[in-house]
Amino acid sequence: MPGLHTGDAPAHSVYVGDALAHSVYVGDALVWRRDPETLSYTAPGVVTVPVPIWARFVDRVAIGGGSAGHGGNGANGQPGRGGTAGSWSSDTIDLAALSATSLTVTVGAGGTGTAREQLGNPGTASTITVPGGSALTAAGGVGIAGYGGIFDKAVEAGASPGDHTYLGTTYTGGIGGATRNTPGTAPGGAGAGGNGGIFGSGSPGANGGDGRVWLTFRSY
């Protein structure tokens, strides 16, 4: 594709009047098309995202919040079990077919630890909705009841979601808490179990990492 230039510099935007063009042809030959634009949302909560006027497609990628770990046993020193990671989900929507002008993004929060000997709170789901189209949901992690052995680090660790590849792009997941009382990192890592103790001195499970959402708007 030859491309368009302003002097020696490649053009990044082309307008037809006040409207951004998504592509330019000379006869039947495509000479320019707008680069995709990726947006990332990290803070738990809801946000409305306007659709760029040049965008025909949006690639939606989401991960839910990781769960908190189980609280430690305050009687016999056993650590709580680590939580489970948030789940990944991804798809592509044809915005032109829906005549969509906005999307609603919800970033799921990581679960919070509760108390010794108690199940940690689950992470919440991350969702992306578009009027007239299907919702994309990435589930949050859930807590695991019970305890590990005093020296069983594998059981007390929070789970990691791993990375996720969609349409050739790799999205990096968070890391679960590796040792007791260690929180998971965003996006989606689960919290480790709480420390055990005696005479009621066990600690709550650690918090999970928040979820995340990515939107990649494309003209092609």
- Measured in whole angstroms, how far is the alpha carbon of residue 155 from the centre of its chain? 25
Q: Which residue type is seen at 5?
A: H
Question: Rounded distance, CA 147 to CA 28, Å?
Answer: 67
What percent of the chain is modeled with pLDDT above 90?
78
Of the listed ranges 11-15, 21-25, 143-147, 154-158, the least confidently predicted one is 11-15
Residue 72 has pLDDT above 50, yes or no: yes
Of the listed ranges 32-36, 110-114, 143-147, 188-192, the least confidently predicted one is 32-36
pLDDT digits (tens, 9 = 90+) for 82-140: 999 999 999 999 999 999 999 999 999 999 999 999 999 999 999 999 999 999 999 99
Question: Rounded distance, CA 69 to CA 157, Å?
Answer: 8
pLDDT of residue 1: 46
Residue-wise DSSP of 10-61: EPS--EETTEEPSEEEETTEEEEEPPPEEEEE-SSEEEEEEPPTT--EEEEE
Question: Rounded distance, CA 81 to CA 177, Å?
Answer: 11
What's the pLDDT band for 20 if we cut at 50, 70, 90?
A: low
- Please state the pTM of the whole predicted model: 0.88
Across residues 76-86, what is the average pLDDT? 97
Residue whose tokens read 């007390």: 156
